[in-house]
Amino acid sequence: MDQAPIKIQFKTLPTGPGVYLYFDKNDTVIYVGKARNLKRRVNSYFTKVQDNAKTRILVKKIHRMEHIVVPTEIDALLLENNLIKKHRPRYNILLKDDKTYPWICIKKEPFPRVFSTRNMIKDGSEYFGPYPNVKTVYTLLELIKDIYPFLNHELNHLIKVNNDDEIIKMFEENKTSIRHLINGNFKTSIEKLKVQMKSHSKKMEFEKAQKIKEKLESLEHYQAKSTVVNSKITNLDVFTIISDESYGYVNFFQVAFGSIIRSHTVEIKKKLEETDADILPLAIVDLRQRFNSKSKEICLPFEIDLGPKIKVKVPKLGDKKKLIELSQRNAKFFRLERFKRMKIVDPERHFKRLMQQMKKDLHLQEDPVHIECFDNSNIQGTNPTAACVVFRNGKPFKKDYRHFKIKTVEGPNDYASMEEVVHRRYKRLSDDGKSLPQLIVIDGGKGQLSSAVKSLERLSLRGQIAIIGIAKRLEEIYYPGDSIPMFLDKKSETLRVIQQLRNEAHRFGLKLHLNIRSKNSLKSPLEMIEGIGPKTKEVLLKKFKSLKRIKAIPEHEIIDLLGKVKGAKIFKKLQGL
């Protein structure tokens, strides 16, 4: 497609902040982006080779472009967010969430009601929220109506004994406390109730004092369930992000009066391999708008410019740093839960994501759909064996597991044994015309890995199959020809799969090794002496109980038991054991 008009257009673009929109040949918006410098950003799409395949496809589909100039980068961020929601472009990250969360409403009425709703009506009523957790809404409403009886079933009784003006006055006096309660500031309500309780006690109104005490206990119990951070921390928003190849996970904490009053995590699908720094600003704008946050201070894991009206902090120590860590934990748990559900609901997506992650972590040329792992079993230098286990699609494929008895190696030599079994395995696959794995994992360090590589070179397979070694001590990963190991995150899925392969190979190899040793150990040394068969062995053991006692007895006792010729012969053989 001829993109000459666009290339002319971007030469005349301003160098200030703004938003750009790309359209395809059907005049559909396919991408919306923001930039601190419009000319430089748009120019980068057309004047350099894009590493990302998705970006290359996007550029090919661009038919025309529009741009909007704004005063600041923050304005560009806000406008970008609104345009993405409006047009839903194909190549933008997904910040769309169609769920309607409940709000707490204080209705604008003569006798105000406090209730939950999913619909906001602009009639002067007050709305608080929204709340991702419906249970939180119900708990708060029960608490409010328990503390302030004029909001619940006692209202009809109060109307009978009081006039309208008195009830309205009661509500107005407590409205501020109710607002504080909804926003997580329990201090105001607690202090007010304590004053009332003391007043009733002084007047000897113990029943009324007891009722207020019960309300205080309900309030303090609810407060205890909130995460109390620090009473000096007032209104604060916390945002963190973790991500993988395809998705970003942003967690949002809303902190008020020392307590976390809201936590919400969103999953954001990447379209053009966006970085965390690309995703987080857009998510911040979206979540603050969605939850109507007015906090002027935001804590983040890294620096982002959100304009002069918002104070951004990247804490290194203290309670705010702990909040960042707690938020990151929530994002990680959310991601893990998604993975667990994905395995059940959409296993194909889970497998593709896992393969992409392993490909990236291990620097492979292709997805490791077929992986094989080798392990030697050699206990105290006896009965050397080896095992090969196979994983397909990230799962054990036991049909293709293979055991090997070492044939060409004398004594305990792990390196030579590894060289033998790798050569035998892939010579057989090559001769039979069967598919080769994308990745070989060797249980061992540099020595075992080098031995396996020698076999691949002899078979002219070096370069056709990726091969790595994993050493047990620190779980370090070795590559051929590189003496410096690579360390994967101990919690990474890639390392978990490699460890599972290694452990499965060890289990499978040990099984054969122990079977062989067990069979050999059943053979008594007596049976290895010429002239001693099962019956003679039984006679000797019945009489002398053990091999040690048989070897210690005088020659004449054996002769008396077995006869002169046979006894003398066996006695002589026993001395050689």
Q: Please give the Cα distance from 421 to 405 (Å, whole number).
A: 9
The model scores a pTM over 0.85: no
- pLDDT of 74: 72
What's the distance, CA 155 to chain centroid?
50
Assign domain 360-519 to its CATH superfamily: UvrC, RNAse H endonuclease domain (3.30.420.340)
pLDDT digits (tens, 9 = 90+) for 305-321: 887 788 888 988 887 88
- pLDDT of 301: 92
Contact between 318 and 111 (Cβ < 8 Å): no
On the CB side of 16, how many CA atoms lie within 13 Å of its CA?
8
- pLDDT of 300: 93
| Residue ranges covered by each domain of the chain | 4-87, 236-343, 360-519, 525-575
**Do the two domains 4-87 and 525-575 of this chain adopt the same fold?**
no
Task: Give me the CATH code for the 525-575 domain, please.
Answer: 1.10.150
pLDDT at 87 over 70: yes
- Pick the range with the lowest mean pLDDT from 104-118, 150-164, 243-257, 387-401: 150-164
How far CA 370 is from CA of 321, 344, 389, 394, 400, in Å, comes to 42, 22, 11, 8, 11
pLDDT at 399 over 70: yes
Sheet with 29-35, strands from edge to edge, namely: 29-35, 18-23, 64-69
pLDDT digits (tens, 9 = 90+) for 148-207: 665 554 554 555 555 566 666 666 666 777 777 776 666 667 777 788 888 888 888 888
* Burial class of 548 by CB neighbour count within 10 A (0 to 12, 13 to 18, 19+): exposed
- pLDDT of 521: 46
Contact between 80 and 34 (Cβ < 8 Å): yes
CATH 1.10.3720.10 fits 4-87, yes or no: no
Higher pLDDT, residue 90 or 519: 90
Q: Please give the Cα distance from 331 to 440 (Å, whole number).
A: 33
The mean pLDDT value for 428-449 works out to 89
Using pLDDT thresholds of 50, 70 and 90, give the confidence band for residue 241: very high
For 188-256, give the DSSP string.
Answer: HHHHHHHHHHHHHHHTT-HHHHHHHHHHHHHHHHHHHHSEE--TT--SEEEEEEEE-SSEEEEEEEEEE
| Residue recorded with tokens 């060289």 | 419
pLDDT at 431 over 80: yes
Long-range contacts of 286-291 (CB under 8 A, 24+ apart): 286/81, 286/95, 287/239, 287/250, 287/252, 288/237, 289/81, 290/97, 290/130, 291/129, 291/130, 291/252, 291/254, 291/262, 291/264
pLDDT at 480 over 70: yes
- pLDDT of 439: 93
- The pLDDT > 90 percentage for the chain reads 7
Q: Please give the Cα distance from 274 to 278 (Å, whole number).
A: 6
Q: What is the mean pLDDT of the chain?
A: 78
The mean pLDDT value for 485-511 works out to 85
Torsion, CA 323, CA 326, CA 327, CA 328, rounded to 10: 120
Using pLDDT thresholds of 50, 70 and 90, give the confidence band for residue 481: confident
Closest CA to 23 of 39, 41, 6, 48: 6
| Residue recorded with tokens 């003398």 | 568
- pLDDT of 531: 62
Q: Please give the Cα distance from 231 to 295 (Å, whole number).
A: 16
- pLDDT of 514: 59
pLDDT at 552 over 60: yes
In this structure, the number of other CB atoms found within 10 A of the CB of residue 315 comes to: 16
Peptide bond into 130 cis (omega under 30): yes
pLDDT at 223 over 60: no
pLDDT at 445 over 90: no
pLDDT at 236 over 70: yes
